[in-house]
Chains A and B, each alone.
Chain A
Amino acid sequence: MTRFAQTLGLPLVLFLLLAAAPLWADTFTLSLLARAMIFALAAISLDLILGGAGLVSFGHAALMGIGAYGVGILMAEGVSEALIAFPVAMAAAGLFALATGALSLKTRGVYFIMITLAFGQMAFFVAQSLSAYGGDDGLSLAARSLVAGERWLRGPLAFHYTVLGLLAAGALLCGALLAAPFGRVLRAAKDNERRVRALGLDPYPYRLVAYGIAGALAGLSGALFANLTEFVSPAFLSWHRSGELIVMVVAGGMAAAALKAGGLGRPGSALLGALLVVLLEEALSDLTEHWRIVFGPLLVLLVLAGGKRARGGRT
C-alpha cells in the first residue's frame, strides 16, 4: 500500500480531482486550474532534471518562454495551427536546451545553476529586443491556436481537458523516463557519479538528452501558456519565473515527502507543488495585498518542519 501511495497514489488523486473539476468549477476557476496545470507541466519537466538528475536549472522559464514565443511569432506570421505551432515550439525549446545544455553540463552544482541562469538571461534580453514582435511590451495573440483548423481550444472545457491530457502525457513520460534504464543512470549519477563512471557509464549524454527532453516539455507548457493568456511577453522568460518553478518543484517534493507520498524526482510531487503554489498564491492574494508576508514564512516553515525527509524521495 505504501509503495502504491509512493508511486501512483498522489498523482492519481490529483488527476482525478482535476478531471472532475468541470463538474463544480466556474469558468474562472477553470482558467486558474489551467494556469496551475500549465505550470505543473513546466515543473514536471524541471523535476525530470532537478529531482531526477540533480541538475538545478535556473533558466527553465526561458525554455517555457521560447515555447510561448514560438506560438506567438508563428501566429503573427499567419500560422495559427497548433499541430504545426506546438511541435515547432517544442523543437525550438528542446534545441535551445540541447545547445545550452551541451555547454552547461560541463559544470556542476551552483556553477550549473548560474550558467543556466546566464543562458536564460540571454534569451530574456533577446526577447526584449525583438521589436518586430512587441519588444518589451510583448505580443498579443489574435486568438487561441486552431487544432486541425478547428476552434477547439477556445472553449473552456475543451481547453481544460486538452491541458489536462498533455499534462498527464508529460507526467507519464517523465515517470517512464525515470523508471527506465535511462532514468536509472540519471538517478544513479545524481547519487554517486564516480560509481556510475566506474561501471562504464558516462553521465553526460544521459543528462544532455534529459535536458533536451525537459526543454521540449517546457516548450510545450509555454505554448499552452501563450494560448491561455493569449499573450506572450519577455516577462515569461525572467529569472523570477525560473525561481518560481524551482520553488514549485522543491516545495512539492518536500510537501509530498512530508505526506509520505513522494519526493523530488516524482512527477506527482511536482504536480502537487505547482498546484499548491498557484492556488495558495491566488487564495492568499485574495485575502490581502500583503500576502507575501504570510507566504514567505510558510515556505520557511515547510523547510524547517519538513526536515530531511525530502531526501528520502525517489533517488
Chain B
Amino acid sequence: MPALILFWILAIVCIGAALTMVTAANPVRSALSLVVCFLALAVYYVTLSAQFIGAVQVVVYAGAVMVLFLFVIMLLNLGAPVTSSTKGSNQNTAAVALGAILLLVLFISGIFFEIPGKAVSPATAQAQGTVKAVGLTLYNPHLPWLFPFEATSLLLLVAVVGAIVMTRRQV
C-alpha cells in the first residue's frame, strides 16, 4: 500500500511535470519541468530496485543532459517565440487527436492484455538492480552485452568529436 501511494504521488509529479514541459512557453521552465520529471523517474527506478539505473539517470539526464540544455538555452538567450503560430493550427489539433488515439491504444494494450510469463519474487528482483549485478551482467563474456557496450563508447567518442567539430567557429 505505501508503494502504491508513492507510485501515485510520483505519477502525479511526473505527469504534471511532463505537461508543464509541453505547455510552458519558456524553454527554461520546460527544461526544469523535465528535470523534475526525470528525478521522479529516477525514484521510480529506485523503487523498482534498479538503483544503479536510478543513479545514472540522475547523473546523466538530470546532471549532464539537462544542464547542457539549459546551457544552450541561456547561451542562445532563447525566450518564448515572438510570433504566434499562424501556420499549423490544424497541425496542433491533429497532433492532439492523434496523441489521444495513441494513448488509448497504448492504454488498452498496457492494461487489458495479460502479459505472458510470471513475475518473479521481490527478493529475486531486488538482487538484480545493484551495481554489482548490473556490472556482472554487462561484463559477462557469455552474455551479448559486452561488445555493444564497448561499441557504445565509440559512439560517445564520435559524438564528442562531432559536436566539437560542428560548433567550432573557424572550420
A and B associate: no
A: residues with CB less than 8 A from B are: none
